[in-house]
Amino acid sequence: MRLSYSIISLSLLTVIILAGCQQSSSKGEMTKTADVDSVAVFILQKDSVNKQITFPAELVPLERAEIFAKVSGYISALKVDIGDKVSKGQLLVVLEAPEMIANYAAANADVQTARSKYLGSLDAYKRIVNAAKVDGTVAAGELEKAKSQMLADSASLDAERSKTNAYAQLKDYLTIRAPFSGIITQRNADAGTLVSTGNAKPILVVENISTLRLRVPVPEAYTATTPETSVVNFTVDAQPDITYQAKLSRKAGALNLSNRTETWEFLYQNNNSQLKSGMFANAILKLGRKAPTFLVPSASVATNLEKHFVIRLKDGKTEWVDVRSGINMGDKIEIFGSLTEGDTLLARATDEIKAGTVVAAIFFKK
């Protein structure tokens, strides 16, 4: 009997010890599980990038010319004023410079003198050549001397003619004509004003505003994108309720180093002159990538003093992946880096989650 009671007591003690071990083991597992943080994650996928952005822009004329005087003189007549429409070749300004007219007349007289001298030496040379046909009549030195004199007089005549042409060209500069058809937008002188090449301000400014250039400075991040269409909508502050359209003409092909933008130029047919050059505009561009790229929630990209990164979950552990940001879509942002489609990323990245941390993933849709 005593032996039976001892066996029963020993069996009960063994059961209690095993139960205690199992309970202790269960608590350890619960504690270990409780130490692992749960984080929201998503599967990285590529998506199309399309965004409508408003950029500040400026309207400039298709052509613009500042009219300066090529020669010094007084304005004899000013044929136009601001707002006047002009045609190509139309007379705009007449200058008066009497000394230039006198120089041209003197140069003409010098041409006549040189021509007479040349004709005389040419005649003398021809006579000597004819006389030299008879042996012993003319010495060889005399013939050569006559030829040299004739050639020298011919060169002098050419020089005087060139000088006269130069004075004639300068005389033509006394009349200033429109380089193209357009409108006079500035007038900075009156009749009687002395003008020269050293004037700080132009006499007139001519602009061709039948077509206007809409110049849009596009930030560097968007220069690799392509417009959805070649037509852009824009508004101006003077008429904010009216939307105009311009067609893409050209891109600068290089960045402006002062503000890191590329100029895109659109052409607007200003047939009724309803818009003015110099107006500021707001251009609405619809931009996109040619191929899909990675778009992630903005909160999944973290930045500290050293890195711009996302946190990837691999084999239950976190790792930091350096990325570069592209187009900001508001709630989403375009990223570039050593990533592949199908990677698991944390929905909210922070530098408090160190690389190599063990976490439990909770998936959600972006």
| CA 145/CA 131 separation, integer angstroms | 14
* Amino acid 189: pLDDT: 93
**Cβ atoms of 63 and 180 closer than 8 Å:** yes
| CA 137/CA 34 separation, integer angstroms | 133
**What domains are there in the chain, each with its CATH number?**
37-49+292-363 (2.40.420.20), 54-61+207-288 (2.40.30.170), 71-97+174-202 (2.40.50.100), 98-172 (1.10.287)
* Amino acid 128: pLDDT: 80
CB-count exposure of residue 209 (10 Å: 0-12, 13-18, 19+): buried
Secondary structure letter of residue 98 according to DSSP: H
| CA 162/CA 154 separation, integer angstroms | 13
State which amino acid sits at residue 242.
I
Torsions phi, psi of 220, nearest 5? -55, -35
Dihedral of CA atoms 266, 270, 275, 281 in degrees, nearest 10, equals -10
* Amino acid 202: pLDDT: 95
* Amino acid 195: pLDDT: 92
* Amino acid 365: pLDDT: 58
Give residue 278's Cα distance to chain centre.
Answer: 18
* Amino acid 156: pLDDT: 86
* Amino acid 35: pLDDT: 61
Which contacts (CB < 8 Å, 24+ apart) does range 259-264 have? 259/217, 260/219, 260/220, 261/217, 261/218, 261/219, 261/220, 262/217, 262/218, 262/220, 262/223, 263/215, 263/216, 263/217, 263/218, 264/215, 264/216, 264/218
Q: What is the b/e burial string over 219-252, where b = at least 16 CB atoms within 10 angstroms of the residue's CB?
A: eeebbebeeeeeebbbbbeeeeeeebebebeeee
| CA 24/CA 13 separation, integer angstroms | 16
* Amino acid 26: pLDDT: 45
Secondary structure letter of residue 299 according to DSSP: G
pLDDT in tens, the chain (366 residues): 444 444 444 454 444 444 454 544 444 444 444 466 888 999 999 888 888 889 999 999 999 999 999 888 899 999 999 999 999 999 999 998 877 777 777 878 888 888 888 888 888 888 888 877 777 777 777 778 888 888 888 898 888 888 878 777 778 888 999 999 999 999 999 999 999 888 899 999 999 999 999 999 999 888 888 888 889 999 999 898 999 999 999 999 999 999 999 999 999 999 888 999 999 999 999 888 888 889 999 999 998 888 899 999 998 899 999 999 888 887 889 899 999 999 999 999 988 899 899 988 888 655
* Amino acid 249: pLDDT: 93
| CA 324/CA 309 separation, integer angstroms | 8
